[in-house]
Amino acid sequence: MNQVIHVVDDDADTRDALAWLFDSREHRCRTWEGGERFLEHASACPASTPPAVVLLDIRMEPLSGLATFSRLRALGNAWPVLFLTGHGDVGMAVAAVKAGAMDFLEKPFQNNQLVDKVEAALAFARSDAAYRAEAERFRRAYQQLSTRERDVMKLLLEGHYNKNIGDALGIAPRTVEFHRANVFLKMGVSKAVELAHKLGRYRVEELLVPGDWQG
């Protein structure tokens, strides 16, 4: 996966130094002199774009780092963001982390520490992208279930056996088994407990039902 580190800073010396550092560690890096240009790029990226990491200066003009971060999230972009801060900006950076930024780095940087944090963010971005892709596939699979398959799935997740499901829906147990097999095939699972776990993992709250799962 060809990931990119985006450095957004209005100081040319900082941009050049970070570009050199990441290039020396064999990481792809793109630099941006302000938030507006970077946001134009981010908004134009297709969904298939590999996940990136953003190093964002907290104090920039005319668009601040905090405003850039807010707009990036408003675009639905989930790239991990690490803020670049001066000594007096730590309080703002902590607030940004609480608002969803991954971390912050205080200038002047210690190169190895900076690279370690960025590489951790790159690994997180890969994992997060894989999670989001699988969650979307799981939700699309649910949308492809027929009404009857959804009925069977709901009762299955409540812990009912085939006979009870058949009685509740007015269909034969063998028909229930047929629909159950289709549900498992479409949802990519082999048993009910796995289906329940995936519903929780991918936060499909509207489908979650309490009860004792039957495998």
Q: What is the pTM of this model?
A: 0.68
**What pLDDT digit, counting tens, does each position of 102-148 carry?**
998 888 889 999 999 999 999 998 888 888 888 888 888 888 999 99
Examine the domain organization and report whether 189 and 119 are in the same domain.
no
Long-range contact pairs involving 182-186 (C-beta distance under 8 Å, separation at least 24): 182/145, 182/146, 182/149, 183/145, 183/149, 183/152, 183/153, 183/156, 186/141, 186/144, 186/145, 186/149
Examine the domain organization and report whether 160 and 198 are in the same domain.
yes
Report the alpha-carbon distance of residue 127 to residue 62 in Å, rounded: 34
Residue 164 scores a pLDDT above 90: yes
Number of domains the chain contains: 2
Examine the domain organization and report whether 106 and 38 are in the same domain.
yes
Top-confidence residue, 48 or 55: 55
A 10 A CB-CB count for 141 gives 16
CA 126 to the chain's CA centroid: 9
- The pLDDT value recorded for residue 207 is 52
**What pLDDT digit, counting tens, does each position of 49-90 carry?**
888 999 999 989 899 999 999 999 999 898 999 999 887 777
Residue with tokens 């629909």: 179
Cβ pair 199, 157 in contact under 8 A: yes
Domain finish residue from 133, 163, 190: 133
- Give the domain CATH number at 28: 3.40.50.2300
CA 61 to the chain's CA centroid: 29
Examine the domain organization and report whether 177 and 84 are in the same domain.
no
Examine the domain organization and report whether 76 and 47 are in the same domain.
yes
